[in-house]
């Protein structure tokens, strides 16, 4: 489209600008747009009107973005909640979240405490639990409480972005990971059995069917736990 046709089509939108405002428009254009990019004196009045309105729109968009889209905190400052699941003889079983790694006593207290008064070994009550821990509170015949620590189910770990233990994850759980089908899952299990365990997550690159691109997409789903 020619410039003259473009200006004729959009002329009604700029009827509020009079020829007497030409000098003021040129002044603002010199301030808003570098002269190295545009030679203002060679623009017609209609072109100056268009550039002036465009400059105002850009400034308005920048202002809106700065006011309503504040900068996010740096990744290292984002707090990751600690997820611990509690099952058994507690009032509020389920997955509970903590800002900091909790002790066993804190986990039981957040789960509402024991259903019934009972005795249990308090020597481990100050033990610090890591994210993804499963706390099973069981009641023995002698009215004594036994607490067993384990690991949350793989599907729950993935929901909370908690890596799976590469040396313990099952074939079925491997298939829950996006990008890993049954064939690749079988290759991972076979490699793990041949090598008697993975020494590092990067060793996945040696598994048949896992190239550099595939590895980059799945590496965050795994970790090696002691």
Domain coordinates in residue numbering, the chain: 3-68, 77-154, 163-223
Backbone dihedral region for residue 15 (phi beyond 0: left; psi -120 to 50: alpha; all else: beta): alpha
Does the pLDDT at position 224 exceed 60? yes
Within 8 A by CB and 6+ apart from 155, the residues are 173, 176
Interatomic CA distance for residues 96 and 106, integer angstroms: 11
Whether pTM exceeds 0.85: no
* Same fold: 77-154 with 163-223: no
Closest CA to 160 of 126, 188, 134, 189: 134
Does the pLDDT at position 128 exceed 90? yes
- Distance, CA of 168 to chain centre: 25
Joined tokens for residue 211: 């190239």
pLDDT in tens, 11-69: 554 444 445 444 554 554 455 555 554 454 566 777 777 777 787 778 777 766 655 54
Read off the pLDDT band of 218 (50, 70, 90): very high
Whether 126 contacts 111, CB under 8 Å = no
Classify domain 163-223 at the CATH topology level: DNA polymerase; domain 1 (1.10.150)
| Domain 77-154 class, CATH top level | alpha beta
pLDDT in tens, 76-92: 434 579 999 999 999 99
């Amino acid at each position: 489209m020619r410039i003259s046709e473009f200006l004729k089509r959009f002329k009604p939108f700029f009827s509020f600008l009079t020829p007497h405002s030409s000098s003021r428009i040129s002044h603002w254009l010199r301030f808003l747009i570098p002269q190295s990019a545009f030679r203002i004196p060679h623009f017609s009045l209609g072109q100056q009107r268009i550039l002036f309105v465009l400059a105002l729109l850009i400034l308005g968009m920048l202002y809106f973005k700065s006011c309503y889209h504040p900068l996010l905190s740096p990744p290292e400052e984002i707090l990751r909640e600690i997820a611990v699941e509690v099952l058994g003889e507690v009032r509020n079983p389920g997955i509970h979240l903590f800002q900091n790694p909790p002790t066993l006593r804190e986990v039981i207290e957040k789960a509402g405490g024991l259903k019934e008064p009972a005795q249990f070994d308090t020597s481990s009550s100050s033990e610090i639990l890591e994210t993804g821990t499963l706390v099973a509170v069981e009641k023995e015949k002698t009215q004594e409480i036994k607490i067993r620590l384990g690991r949350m189910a793989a599907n729950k770990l993935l929901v909370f972005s908690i890596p799976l233990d590469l040396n313990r994850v099952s074939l079925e759980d491997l298939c829950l990971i996006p990008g890993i089908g049954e064939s690749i899952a079988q290759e991972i299990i076979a490699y793990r059995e041949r090598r008697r365990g993975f020494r590092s997550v990067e060793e996945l690159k040696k598994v048949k069917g896992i190239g550099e691109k595939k590895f980059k997409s799945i590496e965050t789903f795994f970790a090696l736990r002691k």
